[in-house]
């Protein structure tokens, strides 16, 4: 066995895999190799320092830090609980080890590239901010160009670093939990479910906890450093300094999602096209040379990338809501803005607590004897979290948003929160309706498979495009309702105009994200279950074990689809906060009102057209990247089957490592083009129209055109992402429905057609679609950070 390259279980093989890929950066290596107790000591000291700084800022900061610190400790306990499960059979560990090596190797290479890109960008940001004017308010607050350049750059790098850690944690737990879930599946379905769920829970708690602590500590440090020395510096000045953090997070998330998404789907598509379609072997069959690459992909694509994605969602949302809360409190003439600024941090601290409660409500020992649908079990935990979140949300509104100036306002804001939570619930249901084969839409796609590959694709495309309607209607009603509730809250400016409309939508967004940690838990559950299934299949476990992991995997598909709906919904709601933060910022820089984006100005409309086009071009390149990489995998897998005829009858071992390294190289190469497009397009458009505006005498043209670009790109991005995600999920489940016996079952012509749909859906739902969520938010944060470039 040892003479086969990269055979699983062969230490030399593993080493080969790793050495091929791992160029682990020195910091990561130092952290990983540190003694556990030393590490704990360093973290604790650091945390105590933070608490000290926080205590000089305000008591809410201390409370937030203490509770989220506690919840991180709890997450550590959850991780230990998961790690204490048995590792399954030696066969299972072998497979899992191969997966872990591949995933960690790819992870460090990928983040090495991303790290270098981030450093280049950090220099650019520093230079941009060093050469631009500071705003009047900043001058008043005593901040100089140099200070702001430094703060923004440091925030950016810190955001990028935290995002990388969030991604790493997601992957770290999943590559360790997969074999433990497989091991547990040998005993009971319930145990396997709980192991996978808690592993996901660890990831969810850490990601949300880190966002909260990251933003909170930056806030406290800035507050304490500048608040004491500059008398005009108020708390409302801080959030705008944090945008760099949000941009750092989204910059890293974009490349992580692209690289991971391309990796996972190139491997998956490549494995399926030859394995399932040409050779007629089942999914995750150990004879398929690309199977390990496929399983590695689940970890680097779904776990790591989704962790980074949600990290930046929450970071961007917290920061923009803080900006909005601060400026709204100022406009409304409130004496104390603290509650409004701290509100997002408190909500996500509560999020940690209620999600942990939901997680623990699913106990490992099943009560009663009935075999329950795992989805129902998980959903019960979710409902439990949601009920707690409503209570906690209302209490937080009363505590933080109740002001003397508008006594009943907190009730309106609590209403906004309920609107947001309601939208989240509706999104989950709509996604399920369009992607679960219990309902009509997926069955229509399955039926269309009976008339061929072509009709299957047409039906899926039609379903995907149709599925945009209900979410858009829900978002529309949600924004309208929240805006109205905010406007009628009683908060008014000096002239008596209502001021809290936008803050109402901000509160709704927070409501929607108020159980984010649990949602992320369900999401990470998916790839862990998928991996466990792969390990069970590859280590050739008995049918009963496979049944258990299969059922978990199917549920994972549904939760993955629903959390994507959730991610888009929150992106859509958050979009509005980010727009207005951008407009506030431009106003601050130019000292001129910038309160409208008039698309009847041709250039602004053109900005919109270009923004929408950007979304298409970006998706095109993401899909093409998967297609190209998958073709390389197909050729390699075909070559192996041809040159090693013994693979099919188990007398020869396939060369897994070669597929792993082909996919890794290809994904790293292909993520650059769409990533750079996304980062450079808004800058190029803004600068071009700034110069054009200067030449033609149109004031602030660059900033206006970028606003148009941002808003249209958001709308197009939401729609295209909804289309891509839902179509992909529906094709996947239409295939599963047929595999369960409908229309001739496995190996029928209908099944072949449905596999084509599934293949097409892969890059849609796991590469282009999720990358678009990140793109939408990245565009918003990059325009915030780069705004000075668009202004004369």
Scanning residues 749 to 778, which ones bind its own copies (CB under 8 A)? 755-756, 758-760, 763
Tell whether the torsion through CA atoms of 651, 656, 659 and 661 is positive or negative. Answer: negative
Region binding its own copies by CB under 8 A among candidate stretches 18-26, 57-65, 372-380, 619-627: 619-627
Region binding its own copies by CB under 8 A among candidate stretches 13-21, 197-205, 398-406, 595-603: 595-603
Q: Does 627 bind its own copies (CB under 8 A)?
A: yes
Longest dimension (CA), the chain: 83
Count of all residues that appear for the chain in the document = 792
User: Do residues 462 and 434 touch, judged by C-beta distance below 8 A?
Assistant: no
Q: Which of 165, 524, 623, 730 binds its own copies (CB under 8 A)?
A: 623
Going by C-alpha positions, the residue among 386, 394, 390, 456 that lies closest to residue 427 is 386
What is the residue-wise DSSP string for 176-195? HHHHHHHHHHTT-HHHHHHH
| Phi and psi, residue 492, nearest 5° | -140, 155
Q: How far is the CB of 626 from its own copies (least distance, A)?
A: 7
Tell me how many residues contact its own copies (CB under 8 A). 86
User: Do residues 218 and 535 touch, judged by C-beta distance below 8 A?
Assistant: no
Q: Does 576 bind its own copies (CB under 8 A)?
A: yes
Q: Give the CB-side neighbour count of residue 132, counting CA atoms within 13 A.
A: 24
Q: Which of 718, 721, 780, 787 binds its own copies (CB under 8 A)?
A: 718
Going by C-alpha positions, the residue among 762, 724, 750 that lies closest to residue 443 is 750
Residue 413: which residues within 8 A CB-CB, separation 6 or more? 397, 401, 485, 486, 489, 503, 504, 507
Q: How far is the CB of 690 from its own copies (least distance, A)?
A: 14
Between 477 and 506, how does the x/- string for binding to its own copies read (CB under 8 A)?
--xx--xx--x-------------xx--x-
Q: Measured between alpha carbons, how far is 376 from 370 in angstroms, rounded to an integer?
A: 13
User: Binding to its own copies (CB under 8 A): which residues in 432-471?
Assistant: 447-448, 451-455, 457-459, 461-466, 468-469
User: Binding to its own copies (CB under 8 A): which residues in 664-693?
Assistant: 692
Tokens 């109740």: give the residue: 402
Residue 545: which residues within 8 A CB-CB, separation 6 or more? 182, 185, 186, 536
Tokens 């299972």: give the residue: 92
Region binding its own copies by CB under 8 A among candidate stretches 254-262, 540-548, 599-607, 784-792: 599-607
Q: Burial level of 486, CB count in 10 A (0-12/13-18/19+)?
A: buried
In the bound state with its own copies, the residue whose beta carbon lies nearer, of 8 and 701, is 701
In the bound state with its own copies, the residue whose beta carbon lies nearer, of 364 and 452, is 452
Q: Does 608 bind its own copies (CB under 8 A)?
A: yes
Q: How far is CA 445 from CA 636, 740, 754, in A?
A: 31, 15, 8
Q: Does 310 bind its own copies (CB under 8 A)?
A: no
In the bound state with its own copies, the residue whose beta carbon lies nearer, of 322 and 634, is 634
Q: Does 476 bind its own copies (CB under 8 A)?
A: yes
What is the residue-wise DSSP string for 28-87? HHHHHHS-HHHHHHHHHHHHHHHHHHHHHH-HHHHHHHHHHHHHHHHHHHHHHHHHTS--
User: Binding to its own copies (CB under 8 A): which residues in 544-573?
Assistant: 572
Q: Measured between alpha carbons, how far is 321 from 313 in angstroms, rounded to an integer?
A: 12
In the bound state with its own copies, the residue whose beta carbon lies nearer, of 238 and 604, is 604
In the bound state with its own copies, the residue whose beta carbon lies nearer, of 377 and 623, is 623
Count of beta carbons in the 10 Å neighbourhood of residue 119 = 12
User: Do residues 160 and 210 touch, judged by C-beta distance below 8 A?
Assistant: no
| Phi and psi, residue 606, nearest 5° | -65, -40
In the bound state with its own copies, the residue whose beta carbon lies nearer, of 256 and 634, is 634
User: Binding to its own copies (CB under 8 A): which residues in 148-207?
Assistant: none
Q: Does 596 bind its own copies (CB under 8 A)?
A: yes
Q: Measured between alpha carbons, how far is 8 from 91 in angstroms, rounded to an integer?
A: 9
Q: Does 610 bind its own copies (CB under 8 A)?
A: yes
Q: How far is the CB of 102 from its own copies (least distance, A)?
A: 23
Q: Does 703 bind its own copies (CB under 8 A)?
A: no
In the bound state with its own copies, the residue whose beta carbon lies nearer, of 127 and 473, is 473
In the bound state with its own copies, the residue whose beta carbon lies nearer, of 474 and 548, is 474
Q: How far is the CB of 586 from its own copies (least distance, A)?
A: 12
Q: How far is the CB of 676 from its own copies (least distance, A)?
A: 15
Q: Does 321 bind its own copies (CB under 8 A)?
A: no
Between 79 and 108, how does the x/- string for binding to its own copies read (CB under 8 A)?
------------------------------
Q: How far is the CB of 476 from its own copies (least distance, A)?
A: 4
Q: Which of 174, 332, 590, 612 binds its own copies (CB under 8 A)?
A: 612
Between 264 and 293, how does the x/- string for binding to its own copies read (CB under 8 A)?
-----x--xx---xx---------------
User: Do residues 463 and 441 touch, judged by C-beta distance below 8 A?
Assistant: yes
Q: How far is the CB of 462 from its own copies (least distance, A)?
A: 4
Q: How far is the CB of 472 from its own copies (least distance, A)?
A: 4
């Amino acid at each position: 066995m040892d003479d086969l390259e990269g055979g699983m279980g062969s230490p030399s093989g593993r080493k080969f895999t790793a050495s091929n890929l791992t160029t682990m950066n020195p910091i990561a290596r130092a952290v990983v190799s540190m003694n556990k107790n030393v590490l704990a000591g360093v973290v604790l000291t650091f945390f105590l320092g933070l608490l000290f700084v926080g205590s000089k800022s305000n008591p809410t900061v201390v409370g937030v830090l203490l509770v989220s610190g506690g919840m991180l400790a709890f997450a550590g306990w959850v991780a230990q609980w998961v790690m204490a499960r048995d590792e399954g059979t030696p066969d299972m560990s072998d497979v899992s080890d191969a997966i872990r090596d591949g995933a960690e190797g790819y992870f460090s290479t990928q983040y090495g590239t991303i790290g270098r890109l981030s450093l280049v960008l950090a220099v650019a940001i520093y230079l941009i901010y060093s050469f631009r004017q500071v705003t009047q308010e900043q001058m008043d607050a005593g901040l100089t160009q140099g200070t702001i350049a430094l703060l923004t750059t440091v925030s950016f790098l810190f955001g990028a670093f935290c995002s990388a850690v969030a991604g790493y944690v997601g992957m770290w737990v999943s590559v360790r939990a997969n074999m433990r879930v497989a091991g547990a599946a040998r005993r009971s379905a319930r145990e396997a479910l709980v192991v996978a769920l808690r592993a996901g829970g660890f990831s969810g708690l850490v990601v949300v906890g880190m966002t909260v602590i990251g933003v909170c500590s930056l806030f406290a440090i800035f507050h304490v450093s500048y608040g004491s020395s500059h008398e005009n510096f108020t708390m409302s000045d801080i959030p705008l300094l944090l945008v760099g953090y949000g941009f750092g997070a989204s910059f890293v998330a974009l490349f992580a999602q692209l690289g991971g998404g391309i990796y996972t789907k190139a491997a998956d598509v490549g494995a399926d096209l030859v394995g399932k379609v040409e050779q007629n072997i089942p999914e995750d069959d150990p004879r398929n040379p690309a199977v390990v690459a496929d399983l590695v992909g689940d970890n680097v694509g779904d776990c790591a990338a989704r962790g980074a994605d949600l990290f930046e969602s929450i970071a961007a949302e917290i920061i923009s809501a803080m900006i909005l809360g601060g400026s709204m409190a100022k406009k409304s003439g409130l004496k104390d803005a603290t509650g409004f600024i701290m509100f997002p941090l408190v909500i996500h601290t509560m999020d940690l607590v209620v999600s942990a409660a939901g997680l623990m409500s699913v106990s490992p020992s099943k009560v009663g004897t009935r075999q329950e649908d795992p989805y129902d079990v998980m959903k019960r935990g979710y409902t439990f979290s949601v009920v707690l979140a409503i209570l906690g949300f209302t209490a937080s509104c009363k505590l933080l948003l109740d002001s003397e100036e508008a006594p009943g306002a907190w009730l309106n804001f609590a209403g906004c929160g309920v609107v947001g939570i309601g939208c989240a619930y509706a999104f989950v249901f709509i996604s399920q309706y369009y992607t679960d084969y219990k309902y009509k839409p997926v069955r229509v796609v399955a039926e269309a498979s009976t008339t061929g590959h072509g009709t299957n694709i047409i039906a899926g495309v039609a379903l995907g495009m149709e599925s945009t309607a209900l979410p858009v209607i829900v978002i529309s009603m949600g924004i309208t309702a929240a805006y109205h509730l905010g406007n009628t809250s009683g908060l008014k400016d000096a002239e008596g105009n209502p001021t809290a409309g936008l803050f109402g939508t901000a509160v709704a967004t927070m409501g929607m994200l108020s159980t984010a940690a649990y949602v992320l838990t369900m999401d990470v559950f998916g790839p862990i279950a998928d991996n466990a299934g792969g390990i069970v299949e590859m280590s050739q476990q008995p049918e009963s074990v496979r049944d258990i992991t299969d059922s978990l995997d199917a549920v994972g598909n549904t939760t993955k689809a629903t959390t994507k709906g959730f991610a888009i919904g929150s992106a859509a709601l958050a979009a509005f906060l980010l727009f207005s933060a951008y407009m506030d910022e431009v106003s601050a820089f130019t000292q001129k009102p910038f309160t409208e984006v008039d698309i009847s100005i041709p250039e602004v409309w053109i900005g919109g057209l270009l923004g929408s086009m950007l979304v298409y071009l970006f998706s095109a390149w993401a899909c093409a990247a998967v297609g190209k990489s998958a073709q390389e995998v197909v050729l390699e897998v075909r070559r192996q089957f041809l040159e090693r005829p013994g693979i099919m009858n188990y007398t020869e071992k396939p060369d897994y490592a070669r597929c792993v390294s082909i996919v890794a190289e290809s994904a790293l190469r292909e993520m650059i083009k769409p990533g750079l497009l996304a980062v450079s397009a808004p800058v190029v458009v803004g600068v071009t129209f700034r110069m054009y505006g200067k030449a033609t005498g149109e004031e602030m043209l660059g900033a206006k055109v970028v606003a148009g670009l941002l808003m249209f790109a958001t709308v197009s991005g939401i729609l295209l992402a909804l289309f891509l995600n839902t179509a992909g999920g529906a094709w996947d489940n239409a295939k599963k429905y047929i595999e369960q016996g409908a229309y001739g079952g496995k190996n029928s012509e209908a099944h072949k057609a449905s596999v084509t749909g599934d293949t097409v859906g892969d890059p849609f739902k796991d590469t282009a679609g999720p990358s678009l969520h990140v793109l939408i938010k990245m565009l918003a944060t990059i325009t915030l950070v780069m705004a000075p470039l668009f202004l004369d």
